[in-house]
């Protein structure tokens, strides 16, 4: 597999598998924790695996997890297709508020690894879209938080042509600036000090 860190959001990685087709179909490796750990620079140990199934035009996110405990995600498409977006929520990061957007489908097999401190969301592009999340920590009640996925200051490129289907909690989530003012967000580089190696010095403003 090919593992590439995104330029827009350090800590978000796009994983493209090498497929091996034959007359029966094809085969590819979806997850190699040894290769992910090497790319990220720290162990990625899977503690929990979740699946979600969504109707077309369902928007889930933006979701984050407080640090501690923090939570890295390895996101793949089992069925259907979705627009996946990761946003840097680490206060003090030179890329705070920036995003990376990727198309994940059952056919292309592309995955996204999202490190601790980033927010994540997706828009389902087909009915019955099924998504798998391999998580570095188990669910801890009360540690997840939400950011408004339609925050105009973020201006995320979801690409929907009609109002998306949102949960009540996501629909009333605070904007990024409101969440920062409330002290809800993780701070960089306190998430992991070695993350500082990914960045050039921050510029004023």
pLDDT tens digits, the chain, 205 residues: what are they?
A: 999 999 999 999 999 999 999 999 999 999 999 999 999 999 999 999 999 999 999 999 999 999 989 999 999 999 999 999 999 999 999 999 999 999 999 999 999 999 999 999 999 999 999 999 999 999 999 999 999 999 999 999 999 999 999 999 999 999 999 999 999 999 987 776 566 555 544 433 3
The superfamily (CATH) of domain 2-189 is Jelly Rolls (2.60.120.10)
Query: Are the CB atoms for 114 and 137 separated by under 8 Å?
Result: no
Task: Say what the pLDDT of residue 193 is.
Answer: 57
Q: How far apart are CA 94 and CA 196, in angstroms?
A: 10
**Tokens linked to 195:** 């993350």
Active site includes 20? no
Q: Which of 20, 113, 133, 198 is catalytic?
A: 133
Q: How far apart are CA 29 and CA 1, in angstroms?
A: 7
DSSP letters of 73-135?
EEEEEEESEEEEEEEE--BT-TTTT-EEEEEEETTT--EEEE-TTEEEEEEE-STTEEEEEEE
Q: What is the dihedral of CA 21, 83, 58, 176, to 10 degrees?
A: 150
Q: Which of 20, 51, 63, 113 is catalytic?
A: 63
Task: Say what the pLDDT of residue 191 is.
Answer: 74
Phi, psi (rounded to 5 degrees) for 148: -55, 115
**Tokens linked to 141:** 């009640």
Task: Say what the pLDDT of residue 198 is.
Answer: 56
Q: Where are the domains of the chain?
A: 2-189
Active site includes 13? no
Give, in degrees to the nearest 5, the angle at Cα 91 between 192 and 115. 40
H or E element that contains 33: helix 33-40
């Amino acid at each position: 597999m090919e593992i590439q860190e995104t330029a827009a959001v350090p800590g978000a990685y796009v994983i493209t598998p090498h497929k091996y087709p034959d007359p029966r179909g094809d085969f590819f490796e979806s997850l190699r924790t040894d290769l992910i750990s090497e790319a990220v620079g720290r162990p990625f140990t899977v503690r929990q695996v979740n699946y979600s199934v969504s109707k077309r035009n369902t928007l889930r996110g933006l979701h984050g997890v407080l640090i501690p405990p923090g939570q890295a995600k390895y996101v793949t498409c089992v069925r259907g297709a979705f627009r996946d977006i990761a946003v840097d929520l680490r206060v003090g990061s030179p890329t705070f508020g920036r995003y990376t957007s990727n198309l994940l489908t059952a056919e292309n097999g592309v995955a996204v690894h999202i490190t601790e401190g980033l927010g994540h969301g997706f828009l389902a592009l087909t009915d019955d879209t099924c998504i798998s999340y391999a998580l570095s920590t188990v669910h801890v009640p009360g540690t997840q938080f939400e950011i408004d996925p339609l925050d105009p200051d973020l201006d995320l490129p979801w690409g929907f042509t009609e109002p998306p289907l949102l949960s009540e909690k996501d629909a009333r989530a605070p904007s990024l600036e409101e969440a920062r003012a409330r002290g809800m967000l993780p701070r960089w580089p306190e998430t992991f000090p070695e993350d500082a190696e990914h960045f050039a010095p921050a510029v004023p403003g």
